[in-house]
Amino acid sequence: MARLPEFLVRHPDLQVDVFSTDRRVDVLADAFDCVVRVGAVVDESLVCRPLGYLPLTNVVSRGYIESNGIPETLEDLPLHWLVNYQSNVSDQIAGFEYSDGKKVNVVHMPHRITVNNSAAYQSACRAGLGIAQLPRMSIMRGIEAGVFVEVLPDYMPAPMPINQLFPHRRNVPKRVRVFGDWLFEILRISMNTNERRQAS
């Protein structure tokens, strides 16, 4: 949202209607021009335009550490709490996920809270309710401020793909193409900036 005015300055004749939800919507039935999804693409009836990858990191709050300590090994995880993220009721209960370079592994953990959207997920972690695996670019300022603490750096989750999805059409509307171009540009700049901040 903070960057959207730039897009509207470039394309003053466009109007943008934004619907935000962590649930999968039906792009065709709901007549969306396009959707942006983070995570695996499961709908093969849509055109998929890759926009980039979203690195994740494992974090807890300072308050959580004061009450529960800090996990130092995978074997410690069953003794800690997980903030459970479940965007749909039918989804399997999540666990602590990490990639070993070949496959994604899951360590099942106890949880006291389940949330179904990303804002609540970060808020629950901030409140000290457990470990969360959050997008690095959205959490870096909190880490720098000492609100969040990174844990288990050797067991990071796999980056999540970001894709623009839209219906199959003979001629893709120009508004969909220019919006995708802009998203690709700002995501690339944001991720490069975040990488430089990490390195410094």
Q: Residue 101: what pLDDT?
A: 86
Is the pLDDT at 85 greater than 60? The verdict is yes
Q: Residue 194: what pLDDT?
A: 56
Q: Residue 43: what pLDDT?
A: 78
Mean pLDDT calculated for residue range 144-172: 92
- In contact, 58 and 198? CB cutoff 8 Å: no
Query: Which run of H or of E encompasses 59?
Result: strand 56-61
Q: Residue 99: what pLDDT?
A: 93
Q: Which of 51-55, 110-114, 129-133, 194-198 has the lowest mean pLDDT?
A: 194-198
| 56-150: CATH, from 3.20.20.70, 3.40.190.10, 2.60.40.10, 3.30.2310.20 | 3.40.190.10
Q: Residue 25: what pLDDT?
A: 83
| 4-50+162-199 matches 56-150 in fold | yes
CA atoms of 118 and 192, how far apart (whole Å): 23
Is the pLDDT at 199 greater than 90? The verdict is no
pTM above 0.85, yes or no: no
pLDDT in tens, 25-75: 888 888 899 999 988 887 778 899 999 899 999 999 999 999 999 999 999
> What DSSP string describes 123-171?
HHHHTTS-BEEEEHHHHHHHHHTTSEEE--TTSPPPPEEEEEEEE--SS
CATH fold for domain 4-50+162-199: D-Maltodextrin-Binding Protein; domain 2 (3.40.190)
Domain boundaries, the chain: 4-50+162-199, 56-150
The radius of gyration of the chain from alpha carbons, rounded to an integer in Å, stands at 19
- In contact, 170 and 160? CB cutoff 8 Å: no
Q: Residue 89: what pLDDT?
A: 67
